[in-house]
Amino acid sequence: MKIMSVNSGSSSIKFQLFIMPEEKVISKGQVEKIGFDDAICTLRYNGEVYKKVLPIKDHAVGVKMIIDGLIEHKVLKSMDEIKGVGHRIVQGGEIFKKSELIDKRVLDDIISLSDMAPLHNPAHATAIKAFKKIMPNVPHVAVFDTTFHQTMAEDAYMYAVPYFWYSKYGVRKYGAHGTSHKYVSEETNKLLSRENTKVIVCHIGNGASISAVKDGRCVDTSMGFTPLDGIPMGTRSGSLDPAILNFMENKLNIGTDEMYEILNKKSGYLGVSELTSDARDLEAAIDKGNKKAKLAFDLQAKRIADYIGSYYVYMGGLDALCFTAGIGENSPRLRKLVLDRLSVLGVKYDEKLNNENKLVISTNESKVKVFVIRTDEEVMIARDTMKFIK
């Protein structure tokens, strides 16, 4: 059967079309700059790339263009071949403990959580409505970034703030990238040939998070109430002393909204290097001797190692450490910076294997297996969607 995995933003729709249960991707693409006269619709199929630039006024038009394009290029004979659509949703709060078939209640609940993910949940809801309008007779499934982290205990997800902040307003750690952490931890257990494991997953992309997974269940994660928390990222600061906010707001004569913008979009790699948020450009600058670029990498690597050490203690040991996502999968330099800090845990790695981005980069003497695993969030969405079709 054919199932579509969808990841929607405020002005974009990304998709992959799978044959399930074989998990074979037959087409992928995206619609970008929705709402603009020069919007772009891209479709990839059978090694070819088809692109159109034209006005796309809203998500409904974008969805129709995707379906029409799949039929035009004979990926589909008709829309009826698609048996289900899975939608990635960033924030599920405490309402959603698992993926859900989307009905009015589920959609209303997704919208109700928008104040926790103002850049994401409203866009997801808009896209869901558009897809349901174009494809009303197939199951639509919401797959949440946060549900994998719902197994954390109170001591991991609570903050030491007035308790009513949590009981009345839901202030707690929710985490993110849950589908990626789940996929990679499951793949790791397959490599270890057992499920009673202690695994740490480092999802390092422009957004970055770390999770501690014990026996297949998340017990802690670095992102918090929002994706701003945790380690430094491409443009996000990660955790910092909250007193800095008031101090710098007064120094810069700015308000809370502008400070939030700085911490989300002008910090991390970009803020420290004063150069770029792109890890590849940062590495090129490091090779030329740029000290601020090196500092940006060093800061992130140190914080990643801090979390790994903390999770090692929290889980009472570690069987495997996994690197995934764009930077985690493709930057031997960052992995080396992290792993060099972990020798005290008995972590040993092979420089050559690391430089070649091999699946296993630890040595036989290492007390902890170290893997580089390509994540696949889209296939996790397709898997969950298929369950509801069955």
Ordered by where they begin, the domains of the chain are 2-144 (3.30.420.40), 193-372 (3.30.420.40)
Distance CA 276, CA 234 (A): 8
17 C-beta neighbours (distance < 10 Å), count: 24
pLDDT in the model for residue 53: 86
Give me the helix-helix angle, 279-287 and 291-315, nearest 10°.
120
CB 345 within 8 A of CB 368: yes
Residues facing residue 19 across a β-bridge? 2, 24
195: helix, strand or coil: coil
First to last CA, the chain: 11
| Full-model pTM | 0.89
Give pLDDT, residue 172: 94
List Cβ neighbours of 217 (8 Å cut-off, separation of 6 or more). 151
Residues 262, 375: Cα–Cα separation, whole Å: 29
Name the residues annotated as catalytic.
145
Contact 228, 236 (CB under 8 A): yes
| 207 contacts 234 by C-beta, under 8 angstroms | yes
Helix %, strand %, coil % of the chain (to 5):
45, 20, 35
Residues 350, 353, 355, 358: is their CA dihedral positive or negative?
A: negative
Question: Using one digit for the tens of pLDDT, what is the confidence trace for 170-196?
Answer: 999 999 899 999 999 999 999 999 999
What torsion do the CA atoms of 190, 194, 197, 199 make, to the nearest 10 degrees? -10
- pLDDT higher than threshold 70 for residue 390: no
pLDDT: which is higher, 346 or 31:
346
Of the candidates 53, 54, 30, 55, the one whose C-alpha atom is nearest the C-alpha of residue 43 is 30
pLDDT tens string 99-156: 999 999 999 999 998 888 777 888 889 889 988 988 888 999 999 989 999 999 999 9
